[in-house]
A and B are shown apart, each in its own frame.
Chain A
Amino acid sequence: MSGFQTNNKVISWLDERLPIFSMMQHSAIEYPTPRNLNYWWNFGSLAAFVLVVMLLTGIFLVMNYSSHTSLAFDSVERIMRDVNYGWLIRYLHMNGASMFFILVYIHMFRNLYYGSYKAPREVLWWVGIIIYLAMMATGFLGYVLPWGQMSFWGATVITNLFSAFPVVGQSIVTLLWGGFSVDNPTLNRFFSLHYLLPFVIVGLVVVHVWALHTVRSNNPLGVEMKGEADSIPFHPYYTIKDLFGIGLFLMFFLAFVFWAPNFFGEPDNYIPANPMVTPPHIVPEWYYLPFYAILRSFTMDLWIIPAKLQGVVAMFAAILILFFLPWLDTSKVRSAKFRPIYRQFFWLFLVDCLVLGYVGGKPAEEPLVTIGQLGTAYYFAHFLIIMPLLGKLEKPKPLPASISAAVLKEKA
């Protein structure tokens, strides 16, 4: 690290008192990055970009939104019809939420494929999971705000999950609602929290990047950077690559915004909320569907544990189990490139998540209930049985001596 140098007296005066420029030089320009990152490494910066888009569009939406049950639905329609470019800002925000989850899911599966969660990046992975949990909470809260039928009934079903906990369950639900059903107090607090949580996510992203810059990026080979030959400075190599990625992503994102703005939504949410009538088929937003399938796959009471509690516990466990992944995976080799058997199980797991997502979006009927139950069993088996055993049984391919050695050999 050569440090920051300048001839500008004002900048160096400031930098001696608050080392902003040194920090930027250190962590955004010189920051040594593996020379072999592929395009799957673009999705972190893309997610950060969408986070900014969500914050900006959200701040402008709030200027025209009313968080009262009798006004909320109409205020959103007013944004769509009367507010200048309101339709654009809302469609950016609405589709931006789906984009955020698409990018983060790709980011997470990249991490699974290349074993990025393994030592010394466990804490980096943990912070990522916490960001993911905060995103799920934020997405849920935001979906309630337009106060359509899916908003209302989604909120009812999700808050009722907490009633599954013995003894205190119902009190927790009343506390969440601020009443005896999802109503005006609920809408107001959801709005307040929906505005708060994105800034919490920004803070978590700072911690995530801090952890990243401490342990540095993993790479497709999964071997650590060993010398100067293995790395290139972040700027200009990855700044330009990330910008290029943002360009491609914008084409994808805006195609939905302009040509299929309701592709990810549910038509029922354009019906104002009615507490007396449940829509025939309640579905959460697509990004929760695999977990919704896990929730619903428990249909039988076991001893004194009701099916509902089992489902709720399993659903939370499905996410919390990710925290233990660095130890459940017993293999020392990070990248699936050198793990021929894990590579196949990785794709099986991806398919399993997609199947669960499909089942979660359909009515609870046979044969989908059984498929959902098998999918749930496989989900947990992947983490609790396959990952621990595979690390011991699988014979990994030989690892390259270094990143540069592998890259130069490929070129030759």
Chain B
Amino acid sequence: MADSATHAQPSSTDGQSRRDFLLYSTIAVGAVGTAAALWPFVHSMNPAADTLALSTTDVDLAAIQPGQAITVVWQGKPVFVRHRTEEDIALATKDDSAELRDKMADATRVQKPEWLIVVGVCTHLGCVPLGQKAGDPKGDFGGWFCPCHGSHYDTSGRIRKGPAPLNLPVPKYSFTSDTTIRIG
């Protein structure tokens, strides 16, 4: 240290290591304190309690005919509810053995085979794929087609072609009766 020349120190190495200890522990305490002070600000940007509270949606399935689909809102996102036809189901189970990017059997993606319920947000960059309405393009695999960057999903909502990495996710849901479900 610079001042050791003018102020005689009894044992400089001893003093130095004690000072180093004080210096490093002060820095460490300061760093932990700063991080602790920062966290409330970062966490304030995460979903607030009222946002989290809007976490379930009830859907009545009775009016949806085979081959039809409806879109419901859950947590601000569209959820696709499709009443699958026999051909849809057959195609989906047949393709379990096809080459899949995100490998999942159709049976693991549904609770009742005729009802496919998936979050309608493309896993590429979050667009809403087309295929819900009668006139919509359904892609090469009979499911959905995302117009933004050309991802094709099959009748199980699995990614088959295009840039998206993952299948359309299946939200948590349960049948509250034979014809109603609760998502979330």
In the bound complex, do residue B124 and residue A181 qualify as a contact, i.e. CB atoms below 8 Å apart? no
A180 with B127, Cβ < 8 A, contacts A185-B51, A281-B147 known: no
With A278-B148, A364-B150: A157-B165 Cβ-Cβ less than 8 Å: no
Q: Please name 30 pairs of A and B residues whose Cβ atoms are closer than 8 Å in the assembled complex, sorted by A.
A: A156-B125, A174-B46, A175-B42, A177-B47, A178-B51, A179-B47, A179-B51, A179-B75, A179-B76, A180-B47, A180-B75, A180-B76, A180-B77, A181-B75, A181-B76, A181-B77, A181-B121, A182-B76, A185-B45, A185-B48, A275-B73, A276-B71, A276-B128, A277-B128, A278-B127, A296-B149, A298-B163, A306-B165, A308-B125, A308-B165
Task: Please tell me if the beta carbons of B163 and A282 are within 8 angstroms of each other in the complex.
Answer: no
Does chain B have a CB within 8 A of A183? yes
Distance between A403 CB and nearest chain B CB, rounded to angstroms: 46
A178 x B76 contact (CB < 8 A): no
How many residues does chain A have at the interface if contact means C-beta atoms less than 8 Å apart?
Answer: 37
Least CB distance from B166 to A in Å reads 8
CB-CB under 8 A from A309, the residues of chain B are 165
Q: A174-B47, A179-B51 are in contact. Are A275 and B147 (CB under 8 A)?
A: no
The CA of A282 and the CA of B129, in the complex, are separated in Å by 13
- Secondary structure of the B side of the interface? loop
List residues of chain B with CB under 8 Å of any chain A CB: 42, 45-48, 51, 71, 73, 75-78, 101, 121, 124-128, 147-150, 162-165
- Interface centre among B101, B148, B165, by most A CB within 10 Å? B148
B46 pairs with A275, CB closer than 8 A = no
Task: Output the least CB separation between B119 and chain A (Å).
Answer: 10
Measured between alpha carbons, how far is A176 from B163 in the docked complex, in Å?
23
On chain B, the residues within 8 Å of A178 by CB distance are: 45-48, 51
Q: What B residues does A163 contact at CB under 8 A?
A: 126
How many angstroms from the CA of A365 to the CA of B75 in the assembled complex?
33
In contact, B125 and A160 (Cβ under 8 angstroms): yes
Nearest Cβ in chain A — how far from B180, in angstroms? Answer: 21
A280 interfacial contact with B, CB 8 Å: yes
- Asked if A189 CB lies within 8 Å of chain B CBs, one says yes
Residues of B within 8 A of A86 (CB): none
Chain B positions within 8 Å of A301 at CB level: 101, 165
Report which of A177, A276, A281, A298 forms a contact with B78, defined as CB distance below 8 A.
Answer: A276
Q: Which residue of A lies closest to B102 (CB)?
A: A306
Residues of chain B with a CB closer than 8 A to A282's CB = 127, 148
Question: Is B163 touching A307 in the complex (CB atoms < 8 A)?
Answer: yes
A311 interface residue, CB < 8 Å from B? yes
Q: Which 6 A/B pairs are nearest by Cβ-Cβ distance?
A: A181-B76, A180-B75, A160-B126, A306-B165, A278-B127, A157-B125
Give every chain A residue within 8 A of B45 (Cβ-Cβ): 175-176, 178, 185, 189
The CA of A275 and the CA of B75, in the complex, are separated in Å by: 11
Task: List CB contacts (< 8 Å) of A116-167 with chain B.
Answer: 153, 156-157, 159-161, 163
B73 closest partner in A (C-beta): A276
Q: A157 and B51 in contact (CB under 8 A), knowing A179-B76, A275-B78, A276-B71?
A: no
CA distance A311 to B147 in the complex (A): 18
